[in-house]
């Protein structure tokens, strides 16, 4: 499961030289779609009024939190925790894209002024 999770980041980070790293807009779109995928299971966990897993029913509660509250908390952590990581990464990619475009624009202006 860890390898599958790490595999999701290869097109973004570009660790494997056989696979071409995505362009800035494609990286942003890819991560945006990745931020939408956990919404479905997280919403089932967060908004359910009954326990979704039968394993929850026969287990003694450790922290005196109800099964439904525990399930809701799991859904919120899934959605918000993962979403924050993805959206911060999208912001970093966007800022790097802006810097690259600005550098290219400044270089183009300087070469035009030299002529």
Q: Using an 8 Å Cβ cutoff, are 88 and 107 in contact? A: no
Phi, psi of 46, rounded to the nearest 5 degrees: -75, -35
Spell out the domain ranges in the chain: 28-53+63-108
Per-residue pLDDT tens over the stretch 73-105: 888 888 888 889 999 999 999 999 999 999 988
pLDDT at residue 98, as a whole number: 96
Per-residue pLDDT tens over the stretch 16-62: 677 778 899 999 999 999 888 888 888 888 888 888 888 777 777 77
Nearest partner of 76 among 44, 36, 54, judged by Cα: 44
Q: Does 115 have pLDDT greater than 80?
A: no
Q: Does 114 have pLDDT greater than 70?
A: no
According to the per-residue pLDDT averaged within each range, which of 2-11, 23-32, 106-115 is highest?
23-32
Q: How many CB atoms lie within 10 A of CB 87?
A: 13
Cα gap 92→26, rounded to integer Å: 14
Rg (CA), the chain: 21
- How much is the average pLDDT of 6-19? 80
pLDDT at residue 9, as a whole number: 87
What percentage of residues in the chain have a pLDDT greater than 70?
97
């Amino acid at each position: 499961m860890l390898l599958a999770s790490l595999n999701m980041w290869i097109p973004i980070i570009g660790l494997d030289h056989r696979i071409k790293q995505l362009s800035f807009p494609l990286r942003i779109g890819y991560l945006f779609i990745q931020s939408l995928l956990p919404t479905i299971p997280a919403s089932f966990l967060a908004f359910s009024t009954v326990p979704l897993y039968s394993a929850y029913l026969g287990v003694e509660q450790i922290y005196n939190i109800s099964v439904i509250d525990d399930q809701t908390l799991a859904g919120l952590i899934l959605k918000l925790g993962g979403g924050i990581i993805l959206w911060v990464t999208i912001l970093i990619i966007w800022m790097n894209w802006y810097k690259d475009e600005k550098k290219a624009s400044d270089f183009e202006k300087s070469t035009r002024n030299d002529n």
